[in-house]
Structure 1
Amino acid sequence: MTHIALKNFQMGRQKLKNRAVLAPMSRVSTRGDGIPTIAMADYYERYASGDFGLIITEGTYTDRFFSQAYPNQPGITNAQQLDGWKRTVDQTKQHDTKIILQLMHGGALSQHLSNTRAPSRIEPMRNMLPGYSRKQGRYPIPQAMNLAEIDQVIEGFINSSQKAKEAGFDGVEIHSANGYLLDQFITPYTNTREDQYGGSLGNRIRLTTEITELIRQFHTDDFIVGVRLSQGKVNDFDYLWEGGLEYGRILFNAVANAGATYIHFASEGKGFDHGSLTRNGESLPKLAKEITNLPVIANGGLHHPNESERILNDGHADLIALGTGAIANPDWPRKIERNEEINEFTPDVFQFGVDIDSQMKFEHSQLTTPLDAL
């Protein structure tokens, strides 16, 4: 019997050849100018040639003010960066794979800037992530954003979506998860504002919905506009929404009413059940699917065929996104089709501190299926 992840899927007005999605992963893989490289284009193409139906790129910064989260993070703020992404898009689309650009603002979790911006002047929890920059230790205390700076953020997302369309992307994903700026607005302990962007949950999701609605208005219906949400954060993996299902109901309906094409529920670090369930064990992705009728993407340890099939068959999601599972199995859909052994990801694949070409070659050497055999 064909694995359900291999069946095609209608995403808005775009038809995907299957339900296997490459999850966005911060690879910090440019040369420092934010311009996507040839190595990056080859990196994304390897998943397209491995038969993934949809690729969501790494988080891409949206303006030259305060959005960049990491050194060597790609951007889409100028013509040179746009041209670099166009090469990636062209190579990917040779394999009948759709590709979406994830738009991201680091906010208080920037490891690139010393002068950061956030909803409120609150020091982020825990230390900076190792391996993503030379800066380590505590995050700087951000300055609270004024309304003009919030408008600047909105404009950056809109302009970036237009450049993404020009580069040939099939859509964009608004990164409102994992503790970055838009999630900082949603989260009560990082947002103590008393204006229209603070207070109630409806106000705290406002920046995400305004961006979603405006991007939707700027593009035709065949342009995908997804929104990524999560409970956990890169600096607080164990965080769960305090309101459980009711919290989710408000957020999911707000995103749907703003015109999102899909909801991507991130559950990284400790697997699907850890990040996608409420304190009472209820499935938030399943709730999103039931109350919005939007396509829902789930992730978190779903490279195991039985687990991904359970998530899809039991109605938790419509598509599954693989991150580290895809790094270990860039041809995952083909392996599932052929009933081949699935590799487990091991951390030694990551060699922090080397240039991107060396990193990609090292990852390639760790795989049982070489890229040129796909």
Structure 2
Amino acid sequence: MSTQVQLQDRLTIRGIEFKNRIIKGAMSEALANDAGQPNQDLVSLYDVWGKGGLGCAITGNVMVDARAKNEPGVVVLENERDLTLMKQWAEVGKRHGMVQLIQLSHPGRQCPRGLNKETVAPSAVPFSSSLSATFGTPRALSEVEILDIIRRFGESARLAKKAGFEGVQLHGAHGYLISQFLSPLTNQRQDQWGGSIENRMRFLLEIYKEVRQQTGDDFIIAVKMNSADFQRGGFSEEDAINVAKAVAEAGMDLIEISGGTYEAPAMAGAKAKQRKESTIAREAYFLEFAETIREHVSCPLMVTGGFRTVKGMNDALASGACDFVGIARPFAVEPYLSNQLLAGQDIRYATKPIKTGIKALDKMSIMEVVWYAAQFKSIADGKQPNPNLSPLKVLFNYSRRNLKTVLTGKLNSRKSA
């Protein structure tokens, strides 16, 4: 009898059982209201995924500070205001035996102009010229503000546990604030939070300590981190190995390997054409790097991005390169995908880049967020997702809502000035 790990195998972390090795990776649902409040749409969406046999779901971005949102429709968890609905959301997972991890995030500088009163970051580093019209130059955080954000991550995690979620994932990838601290391109500080990789990872490690202190030993803490930024002079693979070793030694329960930022969006498959044939044959974008990380850490690893066949997933698990298979975008068009995979059936719909024909937008990969969010809304409403949905139609609806949010924010700021 084979002892090789397969999709259907169980795994227990901190006394919490994962009924299979399939995890829905985080994707922006964009279903909350302008105040960042969750609603029945989110409950319904995750209920469908739970019915579909999913072992674990990682939520989309949940912000730790209402003053720092990355997009309209994002959930904010900073106090007990919405605890009743958060409990309903958590209960969905328990009902279906689906572990749920809240992805906690702070966007830092990665916020569209006008969405928030201001943007902050480790350093006042502007975006590249191609994106500077969309994202403004941030203000550098003070030491007091850094400590406050660390506290906020801990408080949000405490609230997630109180609501009934099994754990959290700290978003340390894709150019969000933790990722900004890790990268020498965006972190040019000269104090204890910048410079060497030991200093640049301090923010993440202090967040982990705060979250663990506020939640205890029976709560899962995961981290999503880049294998690299794919930008010259940025967060390197050597940096990533050092960070992975440090967080594993600190007690991190699960490391998800991803890569890229808005300026170099490898997480959306933008780097896929540059991959070697041998890598393409193994499907997952970051599987080779996961093998490198495995040489240095013993905690569970998750690889997300590129998996499309049951064989590719089982081969990755059997190789020991990863302990969980992360799948994101396919769940937007095949909500019952987990049961399908466990029955030996491959993903049916090939994921392809969502393009509008507007070069500036397509380069940012913004449609990789909003097109899938439109599918989530259909699922939440009890409708079938539409793989052929027009990107331009989605863009029009999103822009209309975004404009309303930005204008409302500007009016409110004028009133309070």
TM-score (norm 1): 0.85
Larger Rg: 2
The secondary structure found in structure 2 opposite 1:317 is coil
Specify every segment of 5 or more residues in structure 1 that has no aligned partner in the other structure, as ranges: 129-135, 368-374
- Aligned partner of 2:333 in structure 1 is 328
Instruction: Tell me: CA distance 1:359–1:70, structure 2 relative to 1, closer, same or farther (3 Å).
Output: farther
Q: CA deviation at 1:332?
A: 2.1
Q: CA deviation at 1:230?
A: 1.1
Counterparts of residues 61-140 of structure 1 (less than 5 Å): 61-65=63-67, 67-111=68-112, 112-125=115-128, 137-140=133-136
Q: CA deviation at 1:305?
A: 1.5
Q: CA RMSD in A?
A: 3.1
The reply on whether 1:366 has 2:386 as its aligned counterpart is yes
Q: CA deviation at 1:6?
A: 1.4
**Cα shift readout 1:90-149 (whole Å, capped 9, x = no counterpart):** 122210111111100000001222510000011123666xxxxxxx93311100000011
Letter in 2 for 1:258: A
Determine if contact 2:178/2:204 at 8 Å carries over to the other structure: yes
- State the alpha-carbon separation in 2 of the partners of residues 355 and 324 from structure 1: 10
Q: CA deviation at 1:311?
A: 1.8
Determine if contact 1:5/1:19 at 8 Å carries over to the other structure: yes
Which of the residues 177, 190, 196 maps onto 2:192?
Answer: 196
- State the alpha-carbon separation in 1 of the partners of residues 333 and 5 from structure 2: 20
**Cα shift readout 1:155-210 (whole Å, capped 9, x = no counterpart):** 11011011001110001111111100010000111111000010001110110000
Which of the residues 119, 140, 147 maps onto 1:144?
Answer: 140
Q: CA deviation at 1:355?
A: 11
Determine if contact 2:168/2:222 at 8 Å carries over to the other structure: yes
Determine if contact 1:185/1:205 at 8 Å carries over to the other structure: yes
Letter in 1 for 2:305: G
Determine if contact 1:164/1:172 at 8 Å carries over to the other structure: yes
Q: CA deviation at 1:242?
A: 6.1
- State the alpha-carbon separation in 2 of the partners of residues 271 and 10 from structure 1: 34
- Aligned partner of 2:294 in structure 1 is 289
Instruction: Tell me: CA distance 1:61–1:114, structure 2 relative to 1, closer, same or farther (3 Å).
Output: same
Instruction: Tell me: CA distance 1:126–1:47, structure 2 relative to 1, closer, same or farther (3 Å).
Output: farther
- State the alpha-carbon separation in 1 of the partners of residues 159 and 140 from structure 2: 28
Which of the residues 1, 10, 13 maps onto 1:11?
Answer: 13
Q: CA deviation at 1:88?
A: 1.1
Letter in 2 for 1:284: F
- State the alpha-carbon separation in 1 of the partners of residues 377 and 200 from structure 2: 40
Q: CA deviation at 1:315?
A: 1.9
Percent identity between the two aligned chains: 24
- Aligned partner of 1:42 in structure 2 is 44
Determine if contact 2:287/2:321 at 8 Å carries over to the other structure: no
Determine if contact 2:36/2:66 at 8 Å carries over to the other structure: no
**Cα shift readout 1:45-96 (whole Å, capped 9, x = no counterpart):** 111111111111111010234x321122101113233322211111222101
Determine if contact 1:5/1:308 at 8 Å carries over to the other structure: yes
The secondary structure found in structure 2 opposite 1:57 is strand
Which of the residues 149, 154, 163 maps onto 1:167?
Answer: 163
Deviating more after overlay: 254-263 vs 153-162: 254-263
- State the alpha-carbon separation in 1 of the partners of residues 120 and 323 from structure 2: 35
Q: CA deviation at 1:361?
A: 4.4
- Aligned partner of 1:370 in structure 2 is none
Deviating more after overlay: 173-182 vs 136-145: 136-145
Counterparts of residues 21-32 of structure 1 (less than 5 Å): 21-32=23-34
- Aligned partner of 2:408 in structure 1 is none
TM-score (norm 2): 0.77
State the aligned residue count. 353
Deviating more after overlay: 150-159 vs 85-94: 85-94
Deviating more after overlay: 71-80 vs 96-105: 71-80
- State the alpha-carbon separation in 2 of the partners of residues 243 and 91 from structure 1: 37
Q: CA deviation at 1:351?
A: 4.8
**Cα shift readout 1:285-326 (whole Å, capped 9, x = no counterpart):** 223333220000111111322221222122221001111022
